[in-house]
A = this chain, B = another copy of it.
Amino acid sequence: MADPDWGLYRSFLAVMAQGSLSAAARELGLTQPTIGRHMDELQHHLNVVLFTRSSGGLQPTDAALNLLPHAETLKAAADMLSRAASGLGDDVRGTVRITASDVIGVEVLPPILTSLRNDHPDIEIELALSNRMEDLLRRDADIAIRMVPPSQDALVAKHIGAIDLGMYAHHDYLAQNGAPEDFEDLADHALIGVDRDARDLRLLHSLPWPLAKHRFSFRSDQHLSHLAMIRAGYGIGMCQVGVALREPALQRVLPEFSLALDSWVTMHEDLRNNLRCRTVFDALVRGMKTYWRTQKPDPQLA
């Protein structure tokens, strides 16, 4: 029972993504009969039915749906391999893929990456923003910026410092609704918070001043939308101090309710020898440390 040709899974992924043999063939630059034969071969090999022919396209079976995440892992590994291979020449050129939380990616990274580009114009950057940690393990990215301790031996990690979070609201909102004086006052305010992200909910419950989820009148798992809502004057929410400090219209409330999350820049150790990834890694560490300093009132600056 030898493994099926790995290429069959590539076709399988395309069919799952596109919903039809023809579309998958277009995606891969092959033809519809070829993809059809690939699926036949795969089903025969695995001894399962992967698709049922239904009106309006192919319907994946349960088997296909169960297989999908594994096939995606395979693809992630292959993509990683390609990126690694493209960095083998001792050239500092090619693509580096970074993953980070949405707020970091939108509010913090742009200037860092811009300055990186000035020094190394041959490096291309891919940025994947998500709050899911999964990415680096699956090797969906070369480098990750995360507020979670890197517990894996196989990762090269650099500690940035603790990123401070605080409660903020827009000046207009506070002018209209007043500022809460203590924790109890929050009951009268529009709170912006987490929706269903497991990690965030866990963090929330671990706080000394736990807020139940139903206390939030706006819920989202995208922290970037929290920020946008705060800016729009919807209510009170959590925001990175370093980001809020740049916007005079945002005012801190209840400063005693703060939170500091340790942050790391992380890379897989297999990439340590890769000059290109190494360069980006170092630039991110430098840039993030600079950002970290901005959130403190900094005495040694002129």
Contacts and interface: CB of A to CB of B under 8 A. Distances in A.
Interface of A: 2-7, 9-10, 29, 46-48, 63, 66-67, 69-71, 73-74, 76-82, 84-86, 88-89, 132-134, 137-139, 148-149, 151-154, 198-199, 270, 273-274
A138 B78 CA distance: 13
Nearest to A148: B151
Contacts of A134: 152-154
Nearest to A71: B81
Contact of A3 (B4, B82, B199): B82
Contacts of A199: 153
The 9 closest A-B pairs by CB, nearest first: A6-B6, A151-B151, A74-B77, A69-B270, A63-B88, A70-B81, A77-B77, A46-B85, A70-B84
A67 B80 contact: no
Contacts of A66: 84, 88, 270, 273-274
Given A29-B2, A152-B134, A78 B74 contact: yes
B67 A73 contact: no
A246 B3 CA distance: 43
Nearest to A48: B88
Contact of A78 (B6, B79, B151, B153): B6
A67 B29 CA distance: 27
Copies of this chain in its oligomeric complex: 2
A191 to B, nearest CB: 25
Nearest to A29: B2
Contacts of A88: 46, 48, 63, 66-67
Contacts of A47: 89
Given A6-B7, A154-B137, A199-B153, A85 B67 contact: yes
Nearest to A150: B151
Contacts of A138: 154
Contacts of A149: 151
B2 A70 contact: no
Of A63, A78, A80, A270, most buried by chain B (CB within 10 Å of CB) is A78
A97 B149 CA distance: 28
A3 B6 CA distance: 13
A73 B6 contact: no
A270 B134 CA distance: 12
Contacts of A78: 3, 6, 9, 74
A144 to B, nearest CB: 12
7 contacts: A4-B82, A6-B78, A46-B85, A46-B86, A74-B74, A77-B77, A133-B153
Contacts of A79: 3
A238 to B, nearest CB: 20
A15 to B, nearest CB: 16
